Amino acid sequence: MKLIVEPDDGMAPILTAIKQAKKSIDILIFRLDRGDLARALEAAVARGVVVRALTAHTNRGGEKHLRRLELHLLQQGVTVSRTADDLIRYHGKMMIVDGRILHVYGFNFTTLDIEKSRSFGIISRNPTLVQEAAKLFSADFDRHPYVSGHQRVIVSPENSRARLADFLKGAKRQLLIYDPGLTDDGMLRIITAKIKAGVDVKIIGKVEDKWDLDCWEKYPGKRLHVRAIVRDGQRAFVGSQSLRKLELEKRREVGVIITDRAVVAEIMSVFARDWADTPAGKKAAKKTLKSLKAGKPLGPEEKLLAAAAL
């Protein structure tokens, strides 16, 4: 498994996967304004790769662009299907290459998301994850019901509330959360209970004011467009769904639970760097550096924050 970090990695991992495709590409598109990606898909068709694009039936302010995109892709030989309108929005982002490589993204195929926003993507060759994602893609492409069949593939609205709630409940020591709009009462009750139980919770993004939590900070960079959770430094979630009722229950969203320790550690490292640039992070870094100078032992999280601060 590999991690894509935006804006650091840019389009390279996506374009490389498309260029290396030999048989098939299945791609779910919510937004796309990248000519380089469109050209890469066209080139894949030209060399005999079967490309299927599943486009959203709507997005905010962009329906005309979606219809133009569909027409353009069809003219280039891409097989295009439009998602059904039974859900408010189809907001998932993923790609499957040659039936054996899965990409799950927190970002859209736009310059704003890829070059100017913090986001993540996951690349996996795990056969069971790929198979489940392919089942989801085919169900939505053909407008058939999707039945959830893999515990680590998180799909809204079918299973995301229950599985993400269980993921949060499993925290014993720490939760690191990226979320641009955390408002769901059920999820926030779990998080609040974890804080009371002594779990260290840090949130980069925005929490609804009525919860009066002091464990969150605004993203210190240009723009946050990632939904991710790291639990106890051992497991992580990356996907397109925020912990909001709308995204858990009324929209198509796609995410994955990560067990690869190297990838989890990489997400933690990025989080630590981002947190170190927040007011709370700068304050904690000063305290940690004082402890270092005094020769006091540091825990794993403190060492990570100290390294980020330095």
Residue 301 is predicted with a pLDDT of: 63
Tell me which residue of 63, 85, 86, 66 sits closest to 74, measured CA to CA. Answer: 66
Mean pLDDT of 137-150: 94
Q: For residue 164, give the DSSP letter.
A: H
Confidence band, pLDDT 50/70/90 cuts, at residue 150: very high
The domains of the chain are located at: 2-147, 160-309
Mean pLDDT of 155-183: 97
Third-level CATH fold of 160-309: Endonuclease; Chain A (3.30.870)
Which pairs with CB-CB distance under 8 Å and at least 24 residues apart come from 166-169? 167/229, 167/231, 167/235, 167/237, 167/257, 168/194, 168/229, 168/231, 169/194
pTM of the model: 0.92
Residue 307 is predicted with a pLDDT of: 64
Residue 294 is predicted with a pLDDT of: 73
Q: What percent of the chain has pLDDT over 90?
A: 80
Same CATH topology for 2-147 and 160-309: the answer is yes
User: Is pLDDT at 285 greater than 70 in this prediction?
Assistant: yes
Which secondary-structure segment (H or E) carries 27? strand 24-29
Q: For residue 83, give the DSSP letter.
A: P
CATH of domain 2-147: 3.30.870.10
Q: Count H helices, E strands: the chain?
A: 11, 15
